Amino acid sequence: MEPKDLGFDSKLIHAGTIDDKFGSATVPIYQTSTFKFKNADHGAACFSGDSDGYIYTRINNPTIDALERQMASLENGYRAVATSSGMGAVNTIYMGLLKQGDHMISTAAVYGPSRVVMEKHYSKFGIESTYLDTTNAENIRKAIRPNTRMIFIETPSNPTMDITDLKEVVKIARENNLITVADNTFCSPYLQRPLESGFDIVFHSITKFLNGHADVVGGVLVTREKELHDILRPMMVNLGCNMDPHQAYLVIRGLKTLSLRLEKSQESALKIAQFLESHPKIDWVRYPGLKSHPQFELAANQMSGSGAMISFEVKGGLKAGKVLMDNVKLCILAVSLGGVETLIQHPASMTHSKMAKNDRENAGITDGLVRFSVGIENVEDLLSDLKQALNKI
Ligand SMILES: *Cc1c(COP(=O)(O)O)cnc(C)c1O
């Protein structure tokens, strides 16, 4: 059977395998920097593209290839490009597709560094950007300028859990001939596949749900069409933000349980979100699976589950939030997300602290906001940990 005919869970197991000489059941790690050519003509053919032989690991490598084939299959795209980190994918996209004088529109509460690198560094090369609330498609439409080239969204956004309507964005982009990019890190292709809604590019921090075990930093981007792949692949190679074979091997291993991990985590996440919502010391909870989420319906339409990320505001702002974080015993106080272990963090003083306070507040990242990534522990243990820590406030 071809991978494209397989169900999602079967793809997780079989879409990334390779035929090696010894019939290895798993993908071997080709831990080599370079590859031997059969002869001079073969070497030349590898470089000209007449042979698909391997050359050098920054350019291509069988282990990394296996992961890329699997990711393209999971996102239902043309091909994937694996990168050293999620930010490697972001920079490959910015560098590959924007030029001096171009303008980009993006989600205000996008992953902090995706915004910081654009506003601080790409601005030096004459690239303009507008960050706005993309949950309202009209905002995007109004911000389009003659030089706008790209719409770069993140949904659910980080850490406000706002949902952007994928199909609406595609509609606006097609009317205006713009490239659409979605950061799909919070959902993984198990819960949401933006290319199927017509997006041109989807990317991930593989570090999070895809690898899932908090032991790898990596990224990947997948394009819907050949044309953009043919621009982005050489850009990644020339930027030098390639993945490493061992990193790729670990991700392939982690991916096998993506569905199982996410099912367990999101089942617990809903129970935790409901618990927090009814707790007297909590101001509000943002979780796409709660009826109180302003975009509950949209989330249910475009995501096949509510995910494992929760944001909430503790009454008493920053101070109370700190007490909570200093008193959890099972949940780990750490940035990152999407692993088997439950993590808790405070965006205003941690992940989003490099953002100007004003921009942060405009993006809805209040001082008391706590971000919670639900792992696969027993939910009863997570609930009692939260209970005892909230009691300390
Ligand atoms: C972590 C993260 C990134 C950046 O990925 P790295 O692997 O840390 O470089 C981008 N977007 C989102 C939503 C993230 O959570």
pLDDT of residue 350: 84
Q: For residue 44, what pLDDT is reported? A: 95
Residue 65's pLDDT is what? 96
Q: Is the CB of 208 under 6 A from ligand 1?
A: yes
Per-residue pLDDT tens digits of the chain, which is 393 residues long? 777 789 999 999 998 888 788 999 999 999 999 999 999 999 999 999 999 999 999 999 999 999 999 999 999 999 999 999 999 999 999 999 999 999 999 999 899 899 999 999 999 999 999 999 999 999 999 999 999 999 999 999 988 899 999 999 999 999 999 999 999 999 999 999 999 999 999 999 999 999 999 999 999 999 999 999 999 999 999 999 999 999 999 999 999 999 999 999 999 999 999 999 999 999 999 999 999 999 999 999 999 999 999 999 999 988 898 899 999 999 999 999 999 999 999 888 887 788 788 888 887 888 889 999 999 999 999 999 999 999 999
Among protein residues, the one whose CA lies closest to atom 6 of ligand 1: 86
User: From the CA of 256, how far away is ligand 1's center (Å)?
Assistant: 21
Task: State how beta strands 201-205 and 179-183 pair.
Answer: parallel
Spell out the domains of the chain, with CATH numbers in brackets: 3-30+61-255 (3.40.640.10), 261-390 (3.90.1150.10)
What is the reported pLDDT for 253?
97
Q: Is 30 assigned a catalytic role? A: no
Instruction: Supply the pTM of this predicted model.
Output: 0.96
Q: Do you find a cis peptide bond into 159, omega within 30 degrees of 0? A: yes
Distance 219 CA to ligand 1 centre (A): 8
Cα 86 to ligand 1 centroid, rounded to whole Å: 5
Contact 337, 161 (CB under 8 A): no
For the CA of 217, the nearest atom of ligand 1:
7
Question: Running DSSP on this structure, what letter comes out for residue 61?
Answer: -
What pLDDT, on a 0 to 100 scale, did the predictor assign at position 388?
97
What's the confidence (pLDDT) of residue 372? 95
**If you count DSSP H runs as helices and E runs as strands, how many of each does the chain have, helices first?**
15, 12
Q: How far is the CA of 338 from the centre of ligand 1 (A)?
A: 11
Cα–Cα distance between 389 and 393 in angstroms, integer? Answer: 7
**What pLDDT score was predicted for residue 198?**
98
Closest atom of ligand 1 to 158 CA is 13
Q: Are residues 86 and 110 in contact, defined by beta-carbon separation less than 8 angstroms?
A: no
Active-site residue, 19 included: no
**Which residue in the list 11, 79, 149, 208 is annotated as catalytic?**
208
The C-alpha atoms of residue 23 and residue 18 are separated, in whole angstroms, by 9
Test site for ligand 1: of 87, 118, 163, most ligand atoms within 8 A of the Cβ: 87
**Ligand 1 mutation target, pool 83, 90, 111, most atoms within 8 A of CB:** 111
CB of residue 107 inside a 6 A radius of ligand 1: no
Residue 58 is a catalytic residue: yes
Instruction: Tell me, in angstroms, the distance from the centre of ligand 1 to residue 21's CA.
Output: 36
Closest CA to 95 of 63, 122, 60, 74: 122
**Is the CB–ligand 1 distance for residue 207 below 6 Å?**
yes
